[in-house]
Amino acid sequence: MKAKERKRAHITINAEECKGCCACVEFCPEKQIGVSKKLNTRGYFPAAVNGVRQRCTGCAVCQVVCPEMAIVVVRDG
Amino acid sequence: MGKKQLLRGNEAVGEAAVRAGCRFYFGYPITPQNELPEYMARRMPEVGGTFIQSESELSAINMVLGASVTGARAMTSSSSPGISLKQEGISFMAAMELPGVVVNIIRGGPGLGNIAPAQSDYFQATRGGGHGDYRTIVLAPASVQELADLTHDAFDLADRYRTPVVILADGMIGQMMEPVEFRKPVVDALPEKSWALRGARNRRSRFIRSLILDVDLEEEHNWKLYRKYQRIQNNEVRWDEFMTDDAATAVVAYGTAARIAKGAIIRAREKGIPAGLFRPVTLWPFPMKQLKRLAERLKTILVFEMSTGQMLEDVKLAVEGAAPVEFHGRPGGVIPTPAEVLRVISRVHGRAAKAKQDKPG
Amino acid sequence: MRKLEPRPATLKDAAFHYCAGCGHSIAHRVIAEVIHEMGIADRTIGVPPAGCAVLAYNYFDVDMTEAPHGRGAAVATGIKRAFPEGVVFTYQGDGDLAAIGTAEIIHAANRGERITAIFINNAVYGMTGGQMAPTTLLNMRTTTSPAGRDARREGYPIRVCELLAHFDGACYIERTAVNSPRNIRRTKKAVRKAFQTQIDDLGFSLVEILSPCPTNWKMKPMDAWKWIDEVMSVQYPIGVIKDTTGDTSDNAG
C-alpha cells in the first residue's frame, strides 16, 4: 500500500502497556508516532500518536514491531 | 501360571517392564547393565515401543521425563556413575510429580570404580540423590525373580504416587541367570492420567513445572510432597525375615549381601548360633518400625553391606539403641563368601553373649 | 471498519515481563500467531528453557512442560516419541541450547527427531545478569568477559545453524531476526516452515532468531535493534542455512 493512497485509518496505543521501546516510532513509515512526555504508571515514557491530523495508512507496521501488543490498528475504509 | 524362563537379571528387568506396559526405554551403555538396553533394542520394536540409545545417561533421564509428561510408562537404567548423571532429572521428576522407573545396577565406586558388584549407592538412592527435599521409592531385589516382580511393581507404584521409583540391584543380580516367571502383560489396564499433557484439546491448556518462585507456595509444594512420602511410608514398606522368630543375632542385609548372609545364617544355625536375617526390600521407605520391633528381642544386630556402611545409618536410626549394632562391610566390588560372614556372625554373637555374662545382676 | 487486534488467541491475556524492546516478546507473539493460523494449538506441546523465558507457559496458551536447563531437546524427544501426532517445540536461549544443551540438540538433530527448536540468540546470558554466552561476539564485554571476549582466553562465538546443518537428520534450518518489520515477517514464515517440516514428518527443524537484549547489551532498545543489523548479523548471517524439505515455496503449509 503506497503512502499516497492514504486509506483512512488510525491507531490507538495503550499507554499503560507500552514500555517506551520506540520501535513503532522508528518504523512508522509516516512518522506518525512520537514519545509522550508523560510517564505511565510503570515508569515508562510511552509512545503516542503525533500531531492533530493523522496520516495513518493502516499499514500496521507499528503493530508488527510492538513487543507489548499495545497498538490496535483500525482501518476505517 | 506362566512358564518359567531362564534369564539374566538385566534381561528380566526388560521383559518385566514390557509386560508392565512400559513402551519407552532410553539408556546408554555402561557395564554391568548393557544387557538391558540391548534387550530393549530387540524387544521394544516387537511391541510397538520405542528404544533410543541416548547420547548420555543425562539425556536418557530427560527423555523419560518427556515421555512421562505425556502419560507414558517410561524407564531408563544405568550403573553408578551414570546414575549420578541422572540425579538432576530425578530431582525434577520428583518435583514435577512425574512417574518413571530408574534401574541402577551398582558397580564399585566412587568415581569410575570398577565393574564388579557393590552396594555403595544406598545413600544416593535413599536420600533423594539429587538436590532438594524429595525421596524416591527404592526397591532392592535379592533374586532375578524378585527383580522381575519389583520391576513390574515399580511402574504401578510410580503411577500411583506420581513419583520416580529406583530399582537398586547390583552387578551380580544383573548378570546372573535364574528361572523367572513373568506376570501377564497389562497394556490394556494402564491407569488414567488426567494430569498428563497430550495437547489442549477440548480443555484449557496446562503446564507442568517445578519452578515456584513464591516462597510460600514453594513451601506448600514441599509439604505436599512430604505428605505424599508419608503416605508411601505408611503403605509401601516391604521387608522379609528369615529365621528371626527365635534369633538372638540378626543380620540386616539386602540384595546380594542378603543372599550371602542367608547362606551364613544356615551354617550358623547348624553350629547352634541362633541367627536370623532381616532383609529390607524397600530401602526407602525403610522398614523402621519393623526392624525396631525385632531389635527389641535381639542381643545384637550385624549390618552386612557390600560398602563401607550406608544402610548402617538407617539401621541405627531405626533401632534407636534397642540393640547394639555391629557392622561388616566389603566395598570395591568384593563379593564376600558365606564362610566369611559366618565368622563375623560367630564373633559378634560371641561378644554379645559375653557382654551379657559380664553385666552385673 | 476493521479492527486489528494485536494479540493472537494462543497467547494468554498476560503482560510480558520482558524488558522494553526484548526479542522474546516478538518471538512469542510470532510463534503464537503461527500456532493459531496453522490450527495446531490443541496438539502443540512446548518446552521452555531456563532463562528469561522460563515462564513462557504464562504466555503461550498451549500445553507446556518445564525441562532442566539445556535438556529441552531430550525432553522434547521423549514427548514426541510418546505423542507423535503432537507438534513439539523447544524454545531455548544461547546458554540452554549452545552451552549446557549442546549434546542434546546435536543428537536430536542427528537423529532427525521430528521436533522444532526455536533458538533465541541474544549473544549473552540474560536472566542471570549478562554473562558471556557461547554466542557472545569477540570483543563484546559481558560480566564474565569484562575486558571483552578474547579468542585466546574465551574461544570463539558459535554459529549454531551452521553447526547443526552438518547433521543429516537436520532438515530445515533458518536464521532470522526480530529487529525490523521485514525480519519479523521472515521469522514468522520460518517458524511456520519449521513446524510444517515436523508435521510433514521430514526431520529436525530449527529457527535461530537473532534477538535484542537492550538491558545486558547496555543499549537503548532501538540501538540494540540496529546493532543486530550492523554487527550481530555479520557474525550470524541471516537466511536459510539448510533446506532439504524439497518444498521451497513460500506457501508451504
- Using only C-alpha atoms, what is the Rg of chain B? 21
User: If pLDDT is split at 50, 70 and 90, which confidence band does C247 have?
Assistant: low
Mean pLDDT of chain B: 96
Digit-coded pLDDT (tens) for C49-108: 999 999 999 999 999 999 999 999 999 999 999 999 999 999 999 999 999 999 999 999
User: If pLDDT is split at 50, 70 and 90, which confidence band does A5 have?
Assistant: low
Cβ-defined contact of C71 to B68 (cutoff 8 Å): no
Cβ-defined contact of B62 to C82 (cutoff 8 Å): no
Residue B202: its chain C contacts at CB < 8 A?
A: 42
Chain C's closest residue to A20, CA to CA, is C20
Cβ-defined contact of C81 to B50 (cutoff 8 Å): yes
Nearest by CB: B200 against C62, C71, C106? C62
**C218 φψ region: left (φ > 0), alpha (ψ -120 to 50), beta (else):** left
Q: What is the number of CB-based contacts under 8 A between chain B and chain C?
A: 133
Digit-coded pLDDT (tens) for B197-248: 999 999 999 999 999 999 999 999 999 999 999 999 999 999 999 999 999 9
Which of C180, C185, C217, C219 to substitute to test the interface with A, most A CBs within 10 Å?
C180
Chain A's closest residue to C180, CA to CA, is A65
Q: Please indicate whether chains C and B are in contact, defined as at least 3 beta carbon pairs under 8 Å.
A: yes
Nearest by CB: A63 against C6, C15, C214? C6
Give the type of residue at B21.
G
Q: What is the number of CB-based contacts under 8 A between chain A and chain C?
A: 69
**CB within 8 Å of chain B, chain C residues 10-49:** 41-45, 47
Q: Report yes or no: B67 at the C interface, CB cutoff 8 Å.
A: yes
Nearest by CB: C16 against A22, A68, A71? A68
The residues, ordered by sequence, that sit 6+ positions from B176 with a Cβ below 8 Å of its Cβ are B8, B9, B144
Digit-coded pLDDT (tens) for B55-67: 999 999 999 999 9
Q: Report yes or no: C98 at the B interface, CB cutoff 8 Å.
A: no
Chain A residues contacting C via beta carbons under 8 Å? 17, 19-23, 25-27, 44, 60-61, 63-76
Which cell goes with A22? 520506540
CA angle, residues B74, B39, B19, in degrees to nearest 5: 50
Cβ-defined contact of C106 to B63 (cutoff 8 Å): no
Nearest by CB: C68 against B67, B88, B207? B88
User: If pLDDT is split at 50, 70 and 90, which confidence band does A76 have?
Assistant: confident
Mean pLDDT of chain C: 96
Residue A75: its chain C contacts at CB < 8 A?
A: 1-4
Q: Report yes or no: B211 at the C interface, CB cutoff 8 Å.
A: yes
Q: What is the pLDDT of residue B3?
A: 86
Cβ-defined contact of A19 to C20 (cutoff 8 Å): yes
Cβ-defined contact of A75 to C7 (cutoff 8 Å): no
The residues, ordered by sequence, that sit 6+ positions from C182 with a Cβ below 8 Å of its Cβ are none
Digit-coded pLDDT (tens) for C121-136: 999 999 999 999 999 9
Q: What is the pLDDT of residue A4?
A: 52
> How far does the CA of residue A17 sit from the closest CA of chain C (Å)?
7
Instruction: State the chains in contact with A (3 or more Cβ–Cβ pairs under 8 Å).
Output: C
Q: What is the pLDDT of residue A51?
A: 66
Environment class of residue B289 by beta-carbon count within 10 Å: exposed (0-12), middle (13-18) or buried (19+)? Answer: exposed
Whether C178 shows a pLDDT value over 60: the answer reads: yes
* CA–CA distances in Å: residue C84 to residues B202, C79, C183, C201, C252: 19, 8, 31, 10, 21
Q: Check if the interface score ipTM surpasses 0.90.
A: yes
Instruction: State the chains in contact with C (3 or more Cβ–Cβ pairs under 8 Å).
Output: A, B
Q: Report yes or no: C4 at the A interface, CB cutoff 8 Å.
A: yes
Q: What is the pLDDT of residue B191?
A: 83
Write out chain C in H/E/C secondary structure.
CEEECCCCCCECCCCCCCCCCCHHHHHHHHHHHHHHHCCCHHHEEEECCCCHHHHHHHCECCEEECCCCCCHHHHHHHHHHHCCCCEEEEEEEHHHHHCCCHHHHHHHHHCCCCCEEEEEECCCECCCCCECCCCCCCCCCECCECCCCCHHHHCCCCCHHHHHHCCCCEEEEEEEECCCHHHHHHHHHHHHHHHHHHHCCCCEEEEEEECCCHHHHCCCHHHHHHHHHHHHHHHCCCEEEEECCCCCCCCCC
User: If pLDDT is split at 50, 70 and 90, which confidence band does C251 have?
Assistant: very low
Contact B114, B89 (CB under 8 A): no
Among A4-8, B86-90, B144-148, C225-229, the range scoring the smallest mean pLDDT is A4-8
Cβ-defined contact of A68 to C25 (cutoff 8 Å): yes
pLDDT above 90: percentage of residues in chain C: 96
* CA–CA distances in Å: residue C249 to residues C190, C243, C245, C246: 12, 11, 10, 9
User: If pLDDT is split at 50, 70 and 90, which confidence band does B4 have?
Assistant: very high
Mean pLDDT of chain A: 89
Digit-coded pLDDT (tens) for B16-50: 999 999 999 999 999 999 999 999 999 999 999 99
Q: Report yes or no: C181 at the A interface, CB cutoff 8 Å.
A: yes
Nearest by CB: A67 against C4, C22, C220? C22
Whether A71 shows a pLDDT value over 70: the answer reads: yes
Among A50-64, C87-101, C152-166, the range scoring the smallest mean pLDDT is A50-64
Nearest by CB: C1 against A23, A27, A74? A74
pLDDT above 70: percentage of residues in chain B: 98
Cβ-defined contact of C184 to A19 (cutoff 8 Å): no
What does the pLDDT average to over B85-108? 98
Nearest by CB: B66 against C62, C64, C75? C75
User: If pLDDT is split at 50, 70 and 90, which confidence band does C1 have?
Assistant: confident
Cβ-defined contact of A17 to C15 (cutoff 8 Å): yes
In degrees and rounded to multiples of 5, residue B12 shows phi and psi of -60, -35
Digit-coded pLDDT (tens) for B264-307: 999 999 999 999 999 999 999 999 999 999 999 999 999 999 99
Contact B138, B233 (CB under 8 A): no
pTM to 2 decimals? 0.94
Digit-coded pLDDT (tens) for A20-41: 999 999 999 999 999 999 999 9
Which of C17, C25, C189 to substitute to test the interface with A, most A CBs within 10 Å?
C25
In degrees and rounded to multiples of 5, residue B110 shows phi and psi of -80, -175
Beta bridge partners of C206: C117, C173
Residue C2: its chain A contacts at CB < 8 A?
A: 74-75
Q: What is the pLDDT of residue B192?
A: 86
Contact B28, C72 (CB under 8 A): no
Q: Quick check: helix, strand or coil at residue A8? A: coil
Q: What is the pLDDT of residue C252?
A: 44
Contact B120, B149 (CB under 8 A): no
User: If pLDDT is split at 50, 70 and 90, which confidence band does B355 have?
Assistant: confident
Contact C112, C204 (CB under 8 A): yes
* CA–CA distances in Å: residue B86 to residues B9, B148, B321, C38, C128: 22, 22, 36, 37, 24
Cβ-defined contact of B62 to C62 (cutoff 8 Å): no
Q: What is the largest CA-CA distance in chain C?
A: 61
Instruction: State the chains in contact with B (3 or more Cβ–Cβ pairs under 8 Å).
Output: C
Give the type of residue at C65.
T
Among B101-115, B217-231, C235-249, the range scoring the smallest mean pLDDT is C235-249
User: If pLDDT is split at 50, 70 and 90, which confidence band does C13 have?
Assistant: very high
Which cell goes with C112? 532427525
Cβ-defined contact of A74 to C4 (cutoff 8 Å): yes
What does the pLDDT average to over C192-218? 98
Q: Report yes or no: C82 at the A interface, CB cutoff 8 Å.
A: no
Q: What is the pLDDT of residue B353?
A: 81
Whether A1 shows a pLDDT value over 80: the answer reads: no
Digit-coded pLDDT (tens) for B182-194: 999 986 778 889 9
* CA–CA distances in Å: residue B142 to residues B162, B237, B290, C96, C127: 26, 16, 19, 41, 48
Nearest by CB: C181 against A25, A65, A76? A65
Environment class of residue B82 by beta-carbon count within 10 Å: exposed (0-12), middle (13-18) or buried (19+)? Answer: buried
Cβ-defined contact of C21 to A67 (cutoff 8 Å): yes
CA angle, residues C245, B44, C75, in degrees to nearest 5: 55
